[in-house]
Amino acid sequence: MLPPVVSLHSSRSRHWHNGRVPNDLNRRAVPARRPLPDRLRLGVGTVAGDAAALASRLLGKGSGASIRGQVLSTVHPGAFASLVKGRRIASVTGTNGKTTTSHLLAAAIRQGLGSDAARLVTNADGANLHYGIASALAKAPKADIAVLETDERVVADLVAQGSPEVLVMLNFSRDQLDRNHEIKFLARSWREALAKAGEAGPVVVANSDDPLITWAVEKARRVIWVDTPSKWSADAALCPACGSILTRVDPNPDEPQGRWDCPSCELTEHAADYQVREGRIALPEGRVVDPRLKVPGSFNVSNAAAALAAAVELGVSVDDALVGFRTVEAPAGRFATASFGPTSARLLLSKNPAGWAESLPLLGTPTVVLAIDSVAADGKDVSWLWDVDFEQLVGKHVVCTGPRAYDLAVRLEYAEVSHEVILDLADALASVADQPQPIDLISTYTPFQKLLKMAGLR
């Protein structure tokens, strides 16, 4: 049993973590000294990128964040490496939860900074590749603190070129297999980057429940462990160090799967500094806090625990972090309730089996809409549909929509779930206008972006 929730009274108190006073949030980064040619290229590239971003918005193509970064990087190929220097960086990465965790962490830091919140820059729109990160940083040249959502493939470059102060590693699972192929390859790149950085590397906030994350951070200079129980463990059956089948020990009501351990080598689940239990977060000193988030789902409590660990490490008090968390309601449109003519829908984004495993239990309406696509941003391989437990939708009526709706319909047929196919997204939404509002809608990435645009949220 966890101890009772503790009320934290001092919003500006300093918190010790593992016997160490955390960094002072008021400490300013040393500005990077860029040579004149570098400054000129950045200036020209930023102006050209802004023009391209404006054109993108006027043409209805999107926010323009990515195209701004692409143009900037064309004018100045070294823009990413230049712009990440001279800042205090907190990076958030992983297969699922990057965007929400980044928003939570950024909100915590804003709360801690108070009137100095302009010191913070973040890629809030989720553009997390080199281009998107460069785009966000170029727009805030004087911001010395950056919270960066970082694609898994960019982590090694950011560690090498940006020297992040804190690196949050959430989880690893199959995602866009046609692009990322074997996820251990990505984990190895993280491991090698952290080993190469050595004592100059980041403090890592790591999910102790994920064996691949644990293996990837073995070479980090210091790790803060966060235990975030997950509904999905199918991508963590084998030991990433030796290949043996992992075992699960000591199951309990809070951890029905139990702690993981390798019977053939030393890799094992570490004791956690922060623990998520019963919707609350246990802190290193033994206190327990209720995050009272405005975003739903137990997985978001896990995201908040990781964000809290990172915020405290940067010098934000626990109270300030929690107050900041409660300002986050619909990060980049996730969990927003949007209107589409006579239909309103609560929007959930899920991109892979692990994400769907967390999202499906949140569906509370008798009729739900599931939108599926398979272009580059979604991943062209949709075989993962067969790994999702759609059987839990028995008793609901599902409207399948999007270009790969028939693939989903076949899976639902085998799951004996009542469904119909309406390929056009707008038509699918119109078809459920007579149902209790709002209806629940889960979408992969590309239809989700279309939904945001249709609802005027992007």
Q: Please check whether residue 95 is in contact with residue 303, taking contact to mean a CB–CB distance below 8 angstroms.
A: no
Q: Annotated catalytic residue: which of 24, 178, 254, 381?
A: 381
pLDDT band for 11, please (50, 70, 90 cuts): very low
Instruction: Give the model's pLDDT for residue 231.
Output: 73
Instruction: Give the model's pLDDT for residue 269.
Output: 94
Same-domain pairing of 179 and 298: yes
CA R_g for the chain = 22
Of residues 272 and 236, which shows the higher confidence score? 272
Same-domain pairing of 128 and 183: yes
| Residue 119 dihedral angles phi and psi, to the nearest 5° | -70, -15
Of residues 425 and 378, which shows the higher confidence score? 425
What range does the domain containing 441 cover? Answer: 336-454
For residue 253, give the CATH number of its domain. 3.40.1190.10
Instruction: Give the model's pLDDT for residue 252.
Output: 62
Same-domain pairing of 374 and 388: yes
Within 13 Å, how many C-alpha atoms sit on residue 352's CB side? 20
pLDDT, tens digit, for every residue of 116-161?
999 999 999 889 999 999 999 999 999 999 999 999 999 999 999 9
Same-domain pairing of 421 and 405: yes
User: SS3 string of 50-84?
Assistant: HHHHHHHHHCCCCCCHHHHHHHHHHHCCCHHHHHC
Same-domain pairing of 133 and 212: yes
Return the DSSP state at 33: -
Select from 306, 331, 356 the last residue of a domain: 331
Instruction: Give the model's pLDDT for residue 251.
Output: 65
Is 16 inside a domain boundary? no
Same-domain pairing of 303 and 443: no
pLDDT band for 20, please (50, 70, 90 cuts): very low
Is 27 inside a domain boundary? no
pLDDT, tens digit, for every residue of 387-413?
999 999 999 999 999 999 999 999 999
242 marked as part of a ligand binding site:
yes
pLDDT, tens digit, for every residue of 76-127?
999 999 999 999 999 999 989 999 999 999 999 999 999 999 999 999 988 9
Q: Please check whether residue 440 is in contact with residue 420, taking contact to mean a CB–CB distance below 8 angstroms.
A: no
Same-domain pairing of 117 and 237: yes
Same-domain pairing of 89 and 220: yes
Same-domain pairing of 233 and 122: yes
Q: Please check whether residue 4 is in contact with residue 290, taking contact to mean a CB–CB distance below 8 angstroms.
A: no
Q: Please check whether residue 309 is in contact with residue 281, taking contact to mean a CB–CB distance below 8 angstroms.
A: no
> Structurally, how many domains does the chain consist of?
2
Q: Please check whether residue 372 is in contact with residue 404, taking contact to mean a CB–CB distance below 8 angstroms.
A: yes
pLDDT band for 6, please (50, 70, 90 cuts): very low
Is 60 inside a domain boundary? no
Q: Residue 7: pLDDT above 50?
A: no
**Average pLDDT for residues 413-429, to the nearest whole number?**
97
Give the span between the Cα atoms of 431 and 161, in whole angstroms. Answer: 50
Q: At what angle do helices 318-325 and 98-113 cross, to 10 degrees?
A: 120
Q: Residue 204: pLDDT above 50?
A: yes
Q: Residue 341: pLDDT above 70?
A: yes
Is 17 inside a domain boundary? no
Instruction: Give the model's pLDDT for residue 198.
Output: 95
Select from 305, 331, 357 the last residue of a domain: 331
pLDDT band for 30, please (50, 70, 90 cuts): confident
To the nearest whole number, what is the mean pLDDT of the chain? 90
With 0.85 as the threshold, say if the pTM is over it.
yes
> What length is written for the chain?
458
pLDDT band for 14, please (50, 70, 90 cuts): very low
Q: Residue 212: pLDDT above 60?
A: yes
pLDDT, tens digit, for every residue of 31-40?
888 899 999 9
For residue 378, give the CATH number of its domain. 3.90.190.20
Instruction: Give the model's pLDDT for residue 401.
Output: 98
Is 438 inside a domain boundary? yes
Is 129 inside a domain boundary? yes
Q: Residue 18: pLDDT above 60?
A: no
Instruction: State what percent of residues in the chain have pLDDT above 90.
Output: 76
Q: Which of 272, 297, 332 is nearest to 106 (CA)?
A: 332
Is 6 inside a domain boundary? no
400 marked as part of a ligand binding site:
no
**Average pLDDT for residues 280-285, to the nearest whole number?**
96
Asked about 381 being catalytic, the answer comes back as: yes
Q: State in Å, rounded, how far the first CA of the chain is from the last one.
A: 44
Is 79 inside a domain boundary? no
Helices (H), 177-297: 177-180, 183-197, 211-216
Q: Residue 443: pLDDT above 50?
A: yes
Same-domain pairing of 96 and 121: yes
Q: Residue 241: pLDDT above 80?
A: yes
Select from 271, 297, 331 the last residue of a domain: 331
Collapsing DSSP to helix, strand or coil, 198 comes out as helix
Give the span between the Cα atoms of 66 and 82, in whole angstroms. Answer: 17
Q: Give how far the C-alpha of residue 419 lies from the chain's centroid of Cα atoms, to the nearest Å.
A: 31
Determine how β-strand 280-282 pairs with β-strand 288-289: antiparallel
Same-domain pairing of 409 and 442: yes
Same-domain pairing of 301 and 365: no
Instruction: Give the model's pLDDT for residue 342.
Output: 95
| Residue 187 dihedral angles phi and psi, to the nearest 5° | -60, -40
| Residue 323 dihedral angles phi and psi, to the nearest 5° | -65, -40
pLDDT band for 5, please (50, 70, 90 cuts): very low
Q: Residue 418: pLDDT above 50?
A: yes
